[in-house]
Amino acid sequence: MGFFTDSSVCIGCKACEVACKEWNEVPDLKPAWSGNSYDNTLRLGANSWRHVAFVERVRQDDAAGVRWLMSSDVCKHCTRAACLEVCPTGAIFRSEFGTVVVQDDVCNGCGYCVVACPFGVIERREDDGRAFKCTLCYDRLKVGEQPACAKACPTASIQFGPVEELREAAQARLEQVRGQPGGEEARLYGADEGDGVGGFGAFFLLLDRPEVYGLPPRPEYRRRDVVTMWGAASVAAWLLVGGLAGALRWRR
Amino acid sequence: MAAVERREEPAERPLVPRERPRSYYGLPIVRRPAWTWEVPLYFFTGGTAGALAAVSILARWSGQHRMGRSARRMALAGALVSPALLISDLGRPARFLNMLRVLRPTSPMSLGSWTLAGFGTALGMAEAADLAGLPVAVTGTMEGAAGILGPILANYTAVLLGDTANPTWRGGRHLLPFVFSGSSLAAAGGALCLAGPGEGRAASRRMVVVGTALEQAAFLAMESQLGPLAEPYRTGRGGRLAQAHRRASWAGALLVLAGRRSPLLQRLGGALALGSSALLRQAVYRAGFQAADDPAYLVESQES
């Protein structure tokens, strides 16, 4: 199960942010004006599991109008999830719904997932010490409910369902949007299983390049990288031993 | 004159820039580490202890017993300090044993925790066996186990940093282990120059020189491979630390060489070699903050 977030119909109401906070008892943020359009949440983190981005752009060809892009961001629930792979305690697991969830009774706050996530989603909560992120409402899914954010979204910008079905719907929607004014740069982000993380469980239809919304253009996590790194480290370890043996003038 | 210029300006200036944005209000994409000061310090203590454990068994095999014992005791000190540093960094220190709850091959931190646990146990047992006067074979076996785990301990932390989304750490993932190996080798030599027995002085000096050469060569290679991603090693706090490291490192090697007949100079050189190894880990750690904070590094590295 997963999300398809269609940013072309997002109206920036932040009902998803509020519903998520309410349901999951996510602590509040200290109120502050950022000056970045209507966005005072700024980014995903331990205490914001949904984040609505507001992008303002003056188009080169159209001096009169400001283009206003809104998109609700969330944990991507990657098919190859870096946070899960690097977690040394096994606190992060793949649920029966295919989602990536942190067990807060196991996490010891080592902070490795924080630097491993290609999207900067998961974060250590300062006053608590453990890492938190979107659970894709694991508790609601267990009783057959849909996640709080999708339920609250008034424009169906956030759609919840089996990822395969959502991908088909997203493809159809993309073709529709591309034919309309302002849809020239529309694209699906994270709907391709061949991408750097094997596709997202929560993917998006964006109207501009990913970095414009604060998303990495080509996120990547591959298991074979860790194998080649260990290979390099083994050679380096042998060099260390060789250097020591040479320095000690050691001969058999 | 000024009035004319003002008239030529458009009546309303756009509040938002016209150019294509390269980021979302310049906000970071990946996160900077949540770790505290203990972590880069552990990279140093663990790395130095690892190399010293290897010295201990190699010295035993080559008949330099006083040198071996001295190296082993210093390694043991490092093996005792290291877990304490790591536990105090945890968000929930009381749950430190969860590190040994699973063994996850894809997690360098998991493999590293097991390595450190085995390393400390082996060194502790070697020391106990030696003090209890058990047969030399028992002590030797335990030293051997620590000597095998030691070189892994010295550079797995480079794998740990490479296996992240941080563009500068990730970009250097295949060369950083060589930097850490060289630095650990120099630091082990430095520790022995500083406080080791007289019989191992020449060997300790050679360790400092060989380690420094390896570390500096590997660092240069890593910087050139990183290209624009090496900028965090040249500017800001990461740059200052990297420069301090470079200077301390070369000064340490030179002093150690100059100190062939002067124990004081040799000790000073050894202290510099140790300090430069600690500075290296700080530089790499801090460069990671800079690389994470500016989204341009990540976006550029993923665009090409």
Domains of chain B: 35-295 (1.20.1630.10)
Residue type, A96: E
Kindly report, residue by residue over A39-63, the tens digit of the pLDDT: 999 999 999 999 999 999 876 665 5
Searching chain A, which residue's CA lies closest to the CA of residue B59? Answer: A248
How close B237 comes to chain A (CA, Å)? 19
A186-212: average pLDDT: 96
Q: Are A233 and A176 contained in the same domain? A: no
Q: Do A117 and B30 touch (CB under 8 A)?
A: yes
What is the pLDDT, as a whole number, of residue A58? 73
Enumerate helices (H) and strands (E) in chain A, giving the number of each: 7, 10
Q: Are A211 and A227 contained in the same domain? A: no
Length of chain A: 252
What is the pLDDT, as a whole number, of residue A61? 62
Kindly report, residue by residue over A223-243, the tens digit of the pLDDT: 999 999 999 999 999 999 999
Q: Are A81 and A124 contained in the same domain? A: yes
Which residues, numbered 1 to 30 in chain B, qualify as contacts with chain A under a Cβ-Cβ cut-off of 8 Å?
14-18, 20-25, 27-30
ipTM of the complex: 0.95
> Are A65 and A59 contacting, i.e. CB atoms less than 8 angstroms apart?
yes
Searching chain A, which residue's CA lies closest to the CA of residue B52? Answer: A244
Write out chain B residues lying below 8 Å of A236, CB-based.
Answer: 155, 158, 177-178, 180-181
A7, A71, B237 from A158: Cα distances, Å: 8, 10, 42
| Number of Cβ pairs < 8 A linking chain A and chain B | 262
Q: Which two tokens stand for residue B136?
A: 């030399």
Nearest to B164 among A34, A115, A238 (CB): A115
B92, B237, B269, B278 from B233: Cα distances, Å: 32, 8, 24, 15
Q: Are A35 and A99 contained in the same domain? A: yes
Which residues, numbered 173 to 192 in chain B, qualify as contacts with chain A under a Cβ-Cβ cut-off of 8 Å?
173-175, 177-178, 180-182, 184-185, 188-189
Kindly report, residue by residue over A59-106, the tens digit of the pLDDT: 666 556 788 999 999 999 999 999 999 999 999 999 999 999 999 999
> Are B156 and B108 contacting, i.e. CB atoms less than 8 angstroms apart?
yes
Q: Does the beta carbon of A217 lie under 8 angstroms from any beta carbon of chain B?
A: yes
- Bridge partners, A57 (sequence order): A67
Return the residue matching tokens 């080592």: A110
Q: Which two tokens stand for residue A79?
A: 């098919």
Q: The whole model's pTM is what?
A: 0.94
Q: Does the beta carbon of B87 lie under 8 angstroms from any beta carbon of chain A?
A: no
Which residues, numbered 158 to 197 in chain A, qualify as contacts with chain B under a Cβ-Cβ cut-off of 8 Å?
none
Residues 6+ apart with CB under 8 A from B132: none
Kindly report, residue by residue over A99-136, the tens digit of the pLDDT: 999 999 999 999 999 999 999 999 999 999 999 999 99
Q: Are A168 and A226 contained in the same domain? A: no
Q: Are A172 and A109 contained in the same domain? A: yes
Q: Do A233 and B35 touch (CB under 8 A)?
A: no
pLDDT band at A31 (very low <50, low <70, confident <90, very high): confident
B183: helix, strand or coil: helix
Q: Are A182 and A110 contained in the same domain? A: yes
Q: Are A217 and A228 contained in the same domain? A: no
Searching chain A, which residue's CA lies closest to the CA of residue B54? Answer: A241
A220: helix, strand or coil: coil
- The secondary structure of A192-213 as a DSSP string is -TTSTTS-BSEEEEESS-GGGG
Buried b / exposed e over B253-282, threshold 16 CB at 10 Å, is bbbbeebeeeeebbbbbbbbbbbbbbbbbb
> Are B70 and B200 contacting, i.e. CB atoms less than 8 angstroms apart?
yes
CATH code of the domain containing A94: 3.30.70.20
A149-167: average pLDDT: 98
Spatial strand order of the sheet with A158-161 comes to A158-161, A2-6, A202-206, A187-189
pLDDT at residue A252 above 60?
no
Structural domain of residue A106, as residue ranges? Answer: 2-221
Q: Do A216 and B29 touch (CB under 8 A)?
A: yes
Q: Which of B29, B209, B294 to mutate to test the interface with A (most CBs of A within 10 A)?
A: B29
Return the residue matching tokens 């505290």: B36
* Each residue's pLDDT expressed in tens, for chain B with a length of 304 residues: 344 444 444 555 555 555 667 899 999 999 999 999 999 999 999 999 999 999 999 999 999 999 999 999 999 999 999 999 999 999 999 999 999 999 999 999 999 999 999 999 999 999 999 999 999 999 999 999 999 999 999 999 999 999 999 999 999 999 999 999 999 999 999 999 999 998 899 999 999 999 999 999 999 999 999 999 999 999 999 999 999 999 999 999 999 999 888 999 999 999 999 999 999 999 999 999 999 999 999 999 998 6
Q: Are A9 and A91 contained in the same domain? A: yes
What is the pLDDT, as a whole number, of residue A65? 74
Q: Are A25 and A123 contained in the same domain? A: yes
Q: Are A216 and A226 contained in the same domain? A: no
* C-beta neighbour count of B195 within 10 angstroms: 14
Closest CA to A75 of A12, A120, A138: A120
pLDDT at residue A204 above 70?
yes
Searching chain A, which residue's CA lies closest to the CA of residue B199? Answer: A248
Number of structural domains, chain A?
2
Q: Residue B199, class by beta-carbon neighbours within 10 Å (0-12 exposed, 13-18 middle, 19+ buried)?
A: middle
Average pLDDT, chain A: 95
What is the pLDDT, as a whole number, of residue B72? 98
What is the pLDDT, as a whole number, of residue A250? 65
Long-range pairs of B116-122 with CB within 8 A, sequence gap ≥ 24: B116/B46, B116/B79, B116/B82, B116/B83, B116/B86, B116/B153, B117/B83, B118/B145, B118/B149, B119/B49, B119/B50, B119/B53, B119/B79, B119/B146, B119/B149, B119/B150, B119/B153, B120/B79, B120/B80, B120/B82, B120/B83, B122/B146, B122/B149
Q: Are A153 and A244 contained in the same domain? A: no
What is the pLDDT, as a whole number, of residue B13? 54
Q: Does the beta carbon of A78 lie under 8 angstroms from any beta carbon of chain B?
A: no
Q: Which of A37, A110, A130, A215 to mutate to test the interface with B (most CBs of B within 10 A)?
A: A110
Q: Does the beta carbon of A9 lie under 8 angstroms from any beta carbon of chain B?
A: no
